[in-house]
Amino acid sequence: MSDALQPGGLFQTFDALVRDPDIRERAYYPDFRRGWDRVLRAAEENPASYLPEDPQAVYTVRHSWGGFDLELHFDQLKIADWYAREINRRSQAIFVPTRIKRSRTGALTFHESVCSYDPDAPESALTDNLKNIVACALPGFPPPLQVVYGNKWVDSKFTPLKRGSLSLFLLSTDYVPAFLGSPLEVCLYLFLMDCCIIKENHVKVADDELRKYLHIFRPSPMLAIKHLLPSE
């Protein structure tokens, strides 16, 4: 665990990030800070675990942004299960079909975002029954993408006829927390994505409009479904 996530350290890092002028000077700043402070404090004390019984189904992603060193644990079997359920619905809102470009050097990109994957990840819980590739966005500018399901199949998808691109599914940011391992992981991910939304858009979007896109004010369906919104 990083120093930022040690008792006390989390809120020192939180305080430093929300004091960024891009965030602090917004009209909704008091509500933004107060709302996330309450949610994160409750999550830090919440002992619940969302990890699967099979430890081989856990895919760990390490990522740093805003002073936080994150360790996110993705439930790959849950990703597979939710995908199987969604393809039978008329509308797909969680898994977004996306085409990633591949450069001559092998780098994967989506617009300005770089997509990372680990071809040596064992992913021993995955079977050939569902050989999709699923990625998610992480906090950053532009947001980096990370393959969280199907790393071991990425290279094999580049056939001689399709060397320049790769089709995969991008998890909707709202639903990335559905596959994370703890209340604190869920809340930190959404908090940092909110900070990114503000910093990236505050110059071109008015405060009253930008507020509507922030997970703490909507609120995110995962905060509600997982009962991570403290009562007044």
Instruction: Tell me the pLDDT tens digit for each residue of 48-106.
Output: 999 999 999 999 999 999 999 999 999 999 999 999 888 877 667 899 999 999 887 77
Tell me: do 23 and 75 sit in the same domain.
no
* Alpha-carbon gap, residue 143 to 98, rounded angstroms: 15
* CA dihedral (80, 81, 82, 87) positive or negative: positive
Tell me: do 98 and 127 sit in the same domain.
yes
Tell me: do 156 and 117 sit in the same domain.
yes
In a domain, 2, yes or no: yes
Contact assessment for residue 33 and residue 25, using Cβ atoms and an 8 Å cutoff: no
Q: Give the closest residue to 99 by CA, choosing from 160, 21, 183, 170.
A: 170
Tell me: do 72 and 148 sit in the same domain.
yes
147 pLDDT band (50/70/90 cuts)? very high
159 pLDDT band (50/70/90 cuts)? low
The domain total for the chain is 2
Of 144, 159, 181, the position where a domain reaches its end is: 181
Tell me: do 139 and 67 sit in the same domain.
yes
- Encoded tokens for 135: 């990625």
Tell me: do 19 and 113 sit in the same domain.
no
Tell me: do 136 and 214 sit in the same domain.
no
Domain extent at residue 30: 1-48+191-232
- Encoded tokens for 43: 């999550």
- The model's pTM is 0.92
In a domain, 195, yes or no: yes
pLDDT: is 89 or 133 the higher one? 133
Tell me: do 59 and 39 sit in the same domain.
no
- Encoded tokens for 149: 């399901």
Rounded average pLDDT over 4-31 = 88
Tell me: do 13 and 96 sit in the same domain.
no
- Encoded tokens for 155: 């290279």
| pLDDT winner (highest mean) among 82-96, 119-133, 138-152 | 138-152
In a domain, 186, yes or no: no
Tell me: do 138 and 207 sit in the same domain.
no
Check pLDDT > 80 for residue 187: yes
Tell me: do 92 and 201 sit in the same domain.
no
In a domain, 56, yes or no: yes
When the pLDDT of each residue in the chain is averaged and rounded to a whole number, the result is: 91
Tell me: do 75 and 122 sit in the same domain.
yes
In a domain, 209, yes or no: yes
